[in-house]
């Protein structure tokens, strides 16, 4: 299990952004993290993947543990070695490289299984196989998002962290991303899913958390969140 306990994160030594967040991602599950803009969702993802440093952020209290072992002082590379990998936003792919080269970059830590992992990616994303020799910069937004997820999967993570994979995508593509997350989870990968699209996220999650100004304000099974009046009103627009 991946777990944040009473986590406090500060940017630039002064700006307190996470104020004692506790969240659990049990192995095998899909956990959804919801919250308005600026609530701290991306910050929490960065803390899990070790990317806070790059943004002048720091854990000032609490811990992140993997199966009980603290990991919040490790570098992103060491955290990835432990099986935790964040799919960076679609735009962060390497635009001058081909689709396949991007995937190979993602798989460098597992050289012996490169072929197998490429095949797995192409099975999950047939579209990427069709375009494997093209420059990644020419992919559509949805395809770039898929490439970003595929690249993360190439390192065979046990925990996949997805930050708004459906952002800016047309409804049909959102549906495709949703189905893919379900499939990836069924194949054994645990998923922490940050989403503005609450109905999509909760429809596939086992458990959900709602973050508000750096604090967890709800922590419930996804089905209970879907039935909650406040969630229906504020996040699902069903008030």
Give the residue with the Cβ less far from ligand ATP, 49 or 117. Answer: 49
- Sign of dihedral through CA atoms 74, 210, 181, 174? negative
Q: What is the smallest separation between the CB atom of 179 and ligand ATP, expressed in angstroms?
A: 23
Quick one: 13 or 229, whose CB is closer to ligand ATP? 13
Q: Which is nearer to ligand ATP, 50 or 107 (CB)?
A: 50
Q: Are 124 and 182 in contact (CB under 8 A)?
A: no
Provide the minimum distance between the beta carbon of 238 and ligand ATP in the complex, in angstroms, as a whole number.
21
235 counts as binding ligand ATP under rule CB under 6 A: no
Query: Segment 188-217, which members bind ligand ATP (CB under 6 A)?
Result: none
With contacts defined by CB under 6 A, name the span among 35-43, 59-67, 115-123, 174-182 that binds ligand ATP: 35-43
C-beta of residue 39 within 8 angstroms of C-beta of residue 214 = yes
Structure tokens at 104: 């190979």
Q: Are 99 and 132 in contact (CB under 8 A)?
A: yes
149 in the Ramachandran plot: left (φ > 0), alpha (ψ -120 to 50) or beta? Answer: alpha
Shortest separation between residue 228's beta carbon and ligand ATP, angstroms = 19
Residues 6-25 that bind ligand ATP (CB under 6 A): 11-12, 15, 17
132 vs 215, beta carbon nearer ligand ATP: 215
Looking only at Cα atoms, what is the longest distance across the chain?
A: 52
CB of 57 to ligand ATP, least distance (A): 6
- Which one, 56 or 96, has the nearer CB to ligand ATP? 56
4 DSSP β-pair partners:
23, 64
CB of 47 to ligand ATP, least distance (A): 10
User: CA-to-CA distance for 38 and 35, rounded, in angstroms?
Assistant: 8
CA distances from 192 to 10, 44, 94, 119, 182 (A): 22, 11, 24, 24, 12
CA–CA dist 136, 188 (Å, integer): 28
Considering only residues 37-96, where is the footprint of ligand ATP by CB under 6 A? 37-43, 55-56
Whether 113 contacts 153, CB under 8 Å: no
| By the rule CB under 6 A, 165 interacts with ligand ATP | no
Nearer residue to ligand ATP within complex by CB, 22 or 134: 22
Q: Which residues pair with 57 in a beta bridge?
A: 11
Residues that bind ligand ATP in the complex, under the rule CB under 6 A? 11-12, 15, 17, 35, 37-43, 55-56
């Amino acid at each position: 299990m991946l777990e944040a306990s009473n986590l406090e994160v500060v940017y630039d030594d002064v700006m307190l952004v996470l104020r004692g967040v506790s969240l659990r991602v049990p192995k095998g599950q899909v956990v959804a993290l919801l919250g308005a803009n600026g609530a701290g969702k991306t910050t929490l993802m960065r803390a899990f993947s070790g990317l806070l440093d790059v943004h002048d952020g720091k854990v000032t209290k609490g811990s992140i543990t993997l199966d009980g072992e603290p990991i919040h002082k490790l570098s992103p590379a060491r955290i990835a070695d432990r099986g935790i990998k964040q799919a960076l936003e679609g735009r962060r792919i390497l635009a001058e490289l081909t689709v396949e080269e991007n995937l190979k970059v993602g798989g460098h830590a597992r050289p012996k299984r490169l072929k197998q992992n490429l095949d797995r990616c192409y099975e999950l994303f047939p579209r990427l196989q069709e375009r494997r020799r093209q420059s990644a910069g020419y992919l559509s937004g949805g395809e770039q998002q898929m490439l970003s997820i595929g690249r993360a999967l190439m390192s065979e993570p046990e925990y996949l962290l997805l930050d708004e994979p459906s952002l800016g995508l047309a409804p049909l593509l959102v549906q495709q991303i949703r189905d893919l997350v379900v499939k990836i989870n069924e194949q054994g990968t645990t998923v922490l899913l940050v989403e503005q699209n609450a109905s999509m996220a909760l429809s596939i999650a086992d458990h959900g958390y709602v973050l508000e100004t750096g604090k967890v304000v709800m922590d419930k099974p996804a089905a209970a969140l879907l039935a909650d009046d406040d969630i229906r009103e504020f996040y699902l627009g069903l008030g």
